[in-house]
Copies of this chain bind each other. A is one copy, B any other.
Amino acid sequence: MKKSFTPNLHVVLTHYPVMNKNGDTIASAITNLDLHDIARAAKTYGVKSFYVVTPLLDQKKLVHKIVTHWATGAGAQYNPMRCEALELIKINDSLDEVRDDIANEGFGYPKTVVTSAKKNSRNIYFNKFRKLLKGDSAYLLIFGTAWGLSEEIIQKADYLLEPIEGKTGYNHLSVRSVVAIILDRLIGR
């Protein structure tokens, strides 16, 4: 039996800065099922934390309300399994704050790895990232919402993970599906 490993991996879903359809930088709105699906996938694959980044106060309140409902409110009684997943969620204003928080929690400052539906000459392959995860460093896997992460975030990242390619050239998966597939490729089996 292979030695099982639980990587020092953290996930963030970014609502700012992201792009809209026209390529402008915007803050996107929270989608309830993003929180549920990504928390459940993160819990399944042993991800250490699931950060939700938005600088908008009303959106932060909304995330807090959803998490509280399922973690300690009526939802926790109705479905305790949902609680176990949603309590992985932390809310922050920016990716810089997330990096600081990971360091403050004792995981060390993370290397950042961005995901994108587009190929890039700097892409690293899944195999390479799987090997990196076997080391001791912390890694922060960054997902975007709306039409994707803004260019400045991509430029600043330590690594750019290769896109998921299916069979057809169609590359418009939901971020919920992308997180599930990437965690399975990195950690599953």
A137: Cβ under 8 A from any B Cβ: no
| Interface of chain A, main secondary structure | helix
A132: Cβ under 8 A from any B Cβ: no
Known contacts A173-B180, A176-B174, A177-B176; A166 and B81 CB within 8 A of each other: no
CB <8 Å contact, B45 and A166: yes
Stoichiometry, copies per complex:
2
Among A4, A172, A183, max chain B CB count under 10 A is at A172
A167 interface neighbour in B45, B178, B181, Cβ under 8 Å: B45
Which A residues have a C-beta under 8 Å from some C-beta of B? 4, 6, 33, 36-37, 40-41, 43-46, 81-82, 84-85, 164-168, 170-174, 176-181, 183-185, 187-189
